Amino acid sequence: MYKRNSFRIACRIVLFFFGMGLLYSCSSTKKIRNQNIEQVITTAKSYRGTPYRYGGTTRAGMDCSALVFQSFRSVGVTLPRSTAEQIKVGKKVSRNKLAKGDVVFFATGNRRRKVTHAGIVTQTGRGNIQFIHASTSLGVTEDNLFSTYWSGKFLQGRRVF
């Protein structure tokens, strides 16, 4: 009887500490994820004002996919270089579930379903989702996803991590 109770107690103790480890691990992982998201956004914002240059990847000039590529690279995440390949990475997220750090994709050309543009969500709020991107006319800038122009061009969002 004594051995049986000791075994049960030992099992409960092990399960307790295992459970605590999982909780700590999850909260630690969430904290790291949030830090990474903030770093991605900070990096993207550091490029504000950089002129648009098709195929460009530096502060002298960059395109939208380079902004996404460089921003995620700052936290050790290597994404493909083109929007056509970037849209395949991560988990698809609906417009109403977008969060900071999600990548948003648009069809700005004549073909309504062909991805041609990308940006990174920097802020979310009711009716106001801000994203940073490399605009052909303004360079790296932030816009509201729900503006008349961008709302009609939105294709999908992707959560990289």
In a domain, 5, yes or no: no
Number of domains the chain is built from: 1
Alpha carbons 75 and 43: distance in angstroms, whole number: 9
* Residues catalogued as catalytic: 64, 117, 133
How confident is the model at residue 21, as a pLDDT?
Answer: 47
Alpha carbons 45 and 42: distance in angstroms, whole number: 5
How confident is the model at residue 61, as a pLDDT?
Answer: 98
How confident is the model at residue 6, as a pLDDT?
Answer: 62
How confident is the model at residue 16, as a pLDDT?
Answer: 43
- What residues of the chain score a pLDDT lower than 70? 1-27
Closest CA to 102 of 50, 43, 40, 49: 40
Task: Identify whether the C-beta of residue 71 lies closer than 8 Å to the C-beta of residue 118.
Answer: no
In a domain, 1, yes or no: no
How confident is the model at residue 11, as a pLDDT?
Answer: 53
In a domain, 18, yes or no: no
Domain coverage including residue 97: 36-159
What CATH number is given to the structural domain containing 143? Answer: 3.90.1720.10
In a domain, 25, yes or no: no
Task: Identify whether the C-beta of residue 91 lies closer than 8 Å to the C-beta of residue 84.
Answer: no
In a domain, 29, yes or no: no
In a domain, 143, yes or no: yes
DSSP codes joined into one string, 64-132 = HHHHHHHHHHTTT----SSHHHHTTSSEEE-GGG--TT-EEEE--SSSTTS--EEEEEEEEETTEEEEE
